[in-house]
Chain A
Amino acid sequence: MLLAIELPRLHELMTTGVVTAVHAAPGTMLAPGTPLVDVRVDLSDAAAQDCPPVSWFRVVCGERCVLRALNAAEGSEFAPGARLGLASTAADEAATGDPARPARLTIVGIVGPEIEW
């Protein structure tokens, strides 16, 4: 069964998220807890603001599957619900056709990178 890996709505007011790190590669066996990508959400991206409300999240796999494709490169930007990749429940399954359902994902807030000078 094919599973769509979609960017969860990390914040109710977010319009997009920017991928800041990629943790998994196509062909990898995923298990509950395997990190996929880190995403930066800036609620002030529409208008500059002092102390911008920026949050960092890690999107983590929530079930056993095989990562078949990942479109999310570092720096790429996605809207909530956008397809980041494709997984399948079996490794030898053809990765074509429509996914049967979204993959189960978990969201965790992470400590953002400190700016170094």
Chain B
Amino acid sequence: MKRIALTLGRLLPAASVLQRSGMRWLVADGAHCRAGEVIAYCNIGMRGSDPLLKGSLAGEQRDLQVALAVTAPGIVRRAASASRGGFLDQMQYYDSWRDDDAIGTLDLDDGASAPGASFEHLVFAGHRALDIAEVRTGLFAGWHDRARVWWGAADAPHGTLACLGICEQRSIVRGEAGAFLELFAAVRGPAHVVHHPDDALVPAAPFLVQQMTRTPAECRAIEEDIARTFGSGPVAPGGRDFMMLGAIVNALVRSPLTEALTVTSQAGAATVSRPDAVLLSVLSESSLLLRHKRLGYWMQVHGYRLSETGPAFHAWLRANFEQVRRSLADIARDLGLLADAVRARGTTEILVLNAVSTLGTEQVQCYAPFTRPLGKTLGTVRARETNAMLHDLARSHGIRIVDNDALAAEFGGRQHIPDRVHSSGALQQATRDEIVRILHEAGVPGFVPRSR
């Protein structure tokens, strides 16, 4: 048996000064770990004057973390000094990142070797939805309106995948603990994955296209209009209404598909000006959207979120927005326009998660009694029509379909996706693997499948 020291290794260029918290362990002392398994993490921070702390990182510095994945299989022996608990393991002010610091040892499996570094670094950067949304309870915890992760290796430029969908996509991309670990366990190479959650607004195609082209003056006009109109009715909004509105305004004036992002590595900082690939969900494309009566901007909020707001919020919506119904043809047109818009900026691959059409308890023997068109009433028929529309888009606009529907049918809808949206871990893993396979086949850098 060979024992190696688990040293932190080089994360940034030598000239950078990196601070860090104590280590928080994800495995027990004496645990056996496979190569690529994340075993510990810490919060990190750079000095405000550090030239690496630029671009998007400046807005993410409160929630920067590094997770450490062992490069070889073996048994982990934790150093007692690596973790001191409490704030010392949560705040990045109490220690410095020294490449040679060892946080433990690894008793290598027979025949295993770790010729290079003992760790691969997974870097987490979260942009808080609100600065007061401070959560330091765990790995990549907190409320972020943008969450991203990348391998810290510097052997090639990072390939970036931007993910915009609803909850069914969130679990596939972010995994069981919300920390992207399963997705990054599936890839080797300089991958960079960015998730834009649908907490405030649902990323429907017309909304995303408008975000991409909205000028600062138009953003200001939206903010001024909302400031003038919200709460002007007979009922005063409650605090939660204001918080929901704030999240919506923040989402309206951002543009996830065009914002520049900073990625760090041992080689320094690089700016990603556009994603190489975009992952969308067709379930984001509701047939009913909100359009502002005066300014014409689109908006879509989950119905269950609107149900949680108060009467003042509802009154504001009714006074200022009209509801616009979209046919399947309208949705196809909108997705096509989005595909054109992102391609014009250099994003090459557009992946879309399709809809699951298998409902385990359904037992239709005859469709004759149902009102035409069937897709207006029957959920499974609507899903099949939607998926057929995606096939048309694949031909006309070269989008790549992530066939969640086929995977669900293969696994069994009743057991693995009982409501056609929320799926089991096994089905999520299969979909995740399919996304990586598609990205790799398409030549998106960084997404080489890792053999398991």
Q: Which residues of A contact B321 (CB under 8 A)?
A: 117
- Assess whether B17 is interfacial by the CB under 8 Å rule: no
Chain B positions 53-93 with a Cβ under 8 Å from a chain A Cβ:
none
Closest to B198 in A: A51
Rounded to whole angstroms, the CA-CA distance of A32 and B378 in the bound complex is 17
B287 close to A114 (CB less than 8 A): yes
Number of residue pairs spanning A and B whose beta carbons lie under 8 angstroms apart: 90
A109 close to B369 (CB less than 8 A): no
Q: Which residues of A contact B302 (CB under 8 A)?
A: 51
Nearest CB in chain B: distance from A76 CB, A: 21
Chain B positions 88-132 with a Cβ under 8 Å from a chain A Cβ:
none
A60 close to B369 (CB less than 8 A): yes
- Assess whether A92 is interfacial by the CB under 8 Å rule: no
A108 close to B364 (CB less than 8 A): yes
- Assess whether A27 is interfacial by the CB under 8 Å rule: no
Cβ-neighbour of A111 out of B167, B307, B365, B382 (below 8 A): B382
Cβ-neighbour of B421 out of A13, A53, A110 (below 8 A): A53
Nearest CB in chain B: distance from A45 CB, A: 13
Rounded to whole angstroms, the CA-CA distance of A62 and B368 in the bound complex is 13
With contacts A12-B414, A108-B362 taken as known, whether A51 is within 8 angstroms of B379 at the C-beta atoms is: no
Nearest CB in chain B: distance from A92 CB, A: 25
Q: Which residues of A contact B288 (CB under 8 A)?
A: 114, 116
Q: Which residues of B contact A11 (CB under 8 A)?
A: 361, 418-419
Q: Which residues of A contact B368 (CB under 8 A)?
A: 33
A: contact size bracket: 20 to 34
- Assess whether B255 is interfacial by the CB under 8 Å rule: no
B318 close to A117 (CB less than 8 A): yes
Q: Which residues of B contact A115 (CB under 8 A)?
A: 303, 306-307
Rounded to whole angstroms, the CA-CA distance of A101 and B211 in the bound complex is 59
A55 close to B363 (CB less than 8 A): no
With contacts A51-B304, A51-B422, A55-B419 taken as known, whether A109 is within 8 angstroms of B365 at the C-beta atoms is: no
- Assess whether B314 is interfacial by the CB under 8 Å rule: yes
Closest to A113 in B: B303
Q: Which residues of B contact A54 (CB under 8 A)?
A: 419
With contacts A32-B366, A107-B361 taken as known, whether A51 is within 8 angstroms of B166 at the C-beta atoms is: yes
Closest to B422 in A: A53
Q: Which residues of A contact B380 (CB under 8 A)?
A: 108-109
With contacts A33-B369, A109-B362 taken as known, whether A117 is within 8 angstroms of B314 at the C-beta atoms is: yes
- Assess whether A2 is interfacial by the CB under 8 Å rule: no
Chain A positions 16-75 with a Cβ under 8 Å from a chain B Cβ:
31-35, 43, 50-58, 60, 62
- Assess whether A10 is interfacial by the CB under 8 Å rule: yes
B378 close to A111 (CB less than 8 A): yes
B361 close to A114 (CB less than 8 A): no
Chain B positions 353-409 with a Cβ under 8 Å from a chain A Cβ:
359, 361-366, 368-370, 375-380, 382
With contacts A115-B307, A117-B317 taken as known, whether A50 is within 8 angstroms of B361 at the C-beta atoms is: no
B418 close to A32 (CB less than 8 A): no
- Assess whether B16 is interfacial by the CB under 8 Å rule: no
Closest to B302 in A: A51
Rounded to whole angstroms, the CA-CA distance of A50 and B380 in the bound complex is 23
- Assess whether B274 is interfacial by the CB under 8 Å rule: no
- Assess whether B210 is interfacial by the CB under 8 Å rule: no
What are the 5 tightest A-B residue pairs by CB atom distance, in nearest-first order?
A33-B369, A115-B303, A51-B167, A109-B379, A109-B359
Q: Footprint of B on A, CB under 8 Å?
A: 8-13, 31-35, 43, 50-58, 60, 62, 106-112, 114-117
